[in-house]
Amino acid sequence: MADLQITVSRGGSVEIPLISGVDAFGVDWGLDNRKADHATVAENDQRDIVVAFHSSRNEYTPDLKQVEIAYFKYNAGTDNWTLFDQRLVGSVGHAPLSPPFLQTEVQCERPDVIVVGNRFFVGWMRRYDRDVGPTNPNDPTFQGYEPSVLECAWIERVGSSLQIHTNSYPNGQGFDLDFHKNPNTSNSPLTIRECAGVPDAVLLDLGDPNAVPPRLPTVGVVYPHQSDFGDYPVGSGDDTRRFDLRLVTCSIDANNVLSKTNPITLHTNTRFDGSSAPLGQESAGLVLPDLAPGVEPYSFWLTYEQQNGLSAGVPLGRIQLEFWKGTSATNWPSDPEAMVAFGSLTSPAARRRSHVASFPAGGSEVVSFAFSRSVAAGNGDVVYEEWVFSPAGPTLAKVAWPQGAGFPNDDPSVVDDIRPVPLHGRTGIRQVLVDRNGAPCLIVMYTPINNPGNALVQKASSVDGLGRPAVAYRFHSASGTDNFALTWEQINPNPPVNGKERIWLRVD
């Protein structure tokens, strides 16, 4: 399906094309002038790269999003990556909750992709529109709280073919991990009206077929469920919102059959009060969990955002960083091993979009961690640090960096840095990629090690606009090379796109 002439070399970048029309599997991709954004990226043991993103089907009113992947195959002889295939894994043409709900086309959005050996795992949310159907919450067809389905697919390249594993679900529909039932018959719905239900995945166990019993490759997905709604009915003046953070796991066996656990709740009544778009910032989702794998199986790092109202018009934003450790897919503690919070009543600011990254092969339970911080519109700064977990206590502690190290935040009235994404590799490899608003807009990289002048490296630039970086790191032990994959969304001013965002991939 893909144009095999599209190749990206080390140090270069390429725009990912969008397929249009109906493909060989009978799935309709829509028009070729659609917008694409919210990309995530991962690289597997074969050094193949998958980029997952959503695009907007603009022939619908309003637009409906769909989840696509682009698979780039590594070519060892030429040390470059060729676009091998593209698939529409989350199509608008499936409505698994209808009936009782009324939609027949349902959007899929905000995917995450991670590596499990030579496979890739992609998870996303299928979201029903709040503006469809009756307005009475007691009506069983009411979908104003946005009932949803958490879906996934496992992806692998086998020879010359790309295989999508979903337990024989039809093309364009993922295997369901959690879903909203009829509210009159279920006490555990999945609703995501304001948080958007943005999921994040983490590797829990690579698996061991020789163990007794065999251990299956297993991933975990953390995502918010909204239990209290701040903007319904619209104009009610209610700014109280509450969310639960749920965890579900998914495994795959030797026959490519998927299994799942029942979702458990890690946290209840997580707050995001006050404006859902603090300081006028874009706010397509709230809570926004992000995860990184721990050294031992069934351990992971978790970060997410909260907001405890306003203080003199400035949000009381907080970021949580936690370390969790279970013993199996079904055995989890009621609390994290350790946690730390960033933000307090005495330091109001909008603290948003935290991210965490780890390198479990290094053997140390340490992560790179970053989030954005603003006290007024258009003056974003970056918090970028390194944290370590110690079982003695247990505790989380900040790692001491050399004097003067730390992201060089400039005058916030001049520079607006947002959406930082850290990268954590083997010894000496620490990076954070940042979306810098300006003219032109930039993606800049900062490294705290062996950088005495705290210089920033420009990785992408556009006068038409770009942003939302995502990164992946892979150390290839056989060749001793470090691979870095970077994606971002960038406005393409040329027809037929006409000023809409497309996804770009750069490999270093």
Q: DSSP secondary-structure letter at 360?
A: G
SS (H, E, C) 136-189: CCCCCCCCCCCEEEEEEEEEEEECCEEEEECCCCCCCCCEEEEECCCCCCCCCC
pLDDT of 104: 94
pLDDT of 2: 52
pLDDT of 234: 62
Q: What is the mean pLDDT of each run of 10 residues along the chain (508 residues)?
A: 77 96 95 95 97 96 96 96 97 95 96 98 97 92 95 97 97 96 68 96 95 93 95 73 97 97 96 86 87 98 95 92 97 97 90 97 96 90 96 95 82 85 96 94 94 91 96 93 97 91 97
CA distance 194 to 91: 22
Residues with Cβ within 8 Å of 494's Cβ and at least 6 positions away in sequence, in order, are none
What are the residue ranges spanned by the domains of the chain? 7-130+137-157+164-507
CA-nearest of 208, 207, 223 to 286 is: 223
Judge whether 176 and 257 are in contact, CB under 8 Å: no
CA distance 400 to 423: 17
125 token code pair: 């949310």
The architecture CATH gives domain 7-130+137-157+164-507: 6 Propeller (2.120)
pLDDT of 490: 97
* Per-position b or e across 236-262, b if 16+ CB within 10 A of its CB: eeeeebbbbbbbbbbbbeeeeebebbe
Amino acid sitting at position 369: F
CA distance 355 to 357: 7
Strand-pair category, 264-273 with 299-311: parallel
Q: 0.85 cut: is pTM over it?
A: yes
Angle CA 464–470–474, to nearest 5: 135
pLDDT of 233: 67
CA distance 475 to 216: 24
pLDDT digits (tens, 9 = 90+) for 120-171: 999 999 999 999 999 999 998 999 999 999 999 999 999 999 999 999 999 9
CA distance 165 to 391: 38
